[in-house]
């Protein structure tokens, strides 16, 4: 998986029990994945279509770094789906633990907001990526 974003957990990111607020983590993941979708598909016109089941495996704590990783797992005519992981990163020893895992799907749109096809070049890049795995 490719590292696509890093965030420090601050006091303002915490929920009632002193853990990273789940909605904050999802917002970070959505923003990071949208940027990755735009980069991967060579267009700024990528919008979130869906976020699959979110599996929160452990809490994030103040002072930790959250590293968000992603990889493309499926490409359609106008959409692309990424597997995403948010991991807590221990700055003292480099250990990482999964906090949240999900899939997010993005759609390429035109100026009116209608879905349009992803380029064949991007689809070929995805096929090459899948064949290397």
Cα separation, 85 vs 35, in Å, equals 15
Q: Which residues make Cβ contacts (< 8 Å) with residue 69, sequence separation at least 6?
A: 1, 2, 3, 4, 84, 85, 87
pLDDT band at 16 (very low <50, low <70, confident <90, very high): confident
* Crossing angle of helices 120-132 and 22-41, rounded to 10°: 110
pLDDT of 66 reads 97
pLDDT of residue 126: 84
> In b/e form, how buried is each residue of 39-78, taking b as 16+ CB within 10 angstroms?
ebbeeeebeeeeeeebebeebbeeebebbbbbebeebeee
pTM confidence score: 0.90
């Amino acid at each position: 998986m490719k590292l696509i974003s890093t965030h420090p957990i601050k006091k303002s990111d915490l929920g009632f029990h002193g853990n990273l607020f789940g909605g904050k983590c999802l917002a970070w993941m959505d923003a990071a994945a949208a940027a990755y979708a735009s980069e991967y598909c060579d267009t700024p016109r990528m919008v979130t279509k869906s976020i699959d089941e979110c599996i929160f495996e452990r809490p994030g704590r103040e002072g930790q770094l959250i590293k968000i990783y992603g990889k493309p797992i499926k490409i359609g005519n106008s959409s692309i789906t990424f597997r995403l992981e948010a991991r807590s990163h221990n700055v003292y020893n480099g250990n990482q633990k999964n906090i949240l895992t999900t899939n997010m799907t993005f759609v390429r749109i035109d100026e009116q907001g209608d879905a349009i096809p992803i380029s064949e070049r991007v689809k070929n890049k995805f096929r090459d990526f899948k064949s290397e795995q």
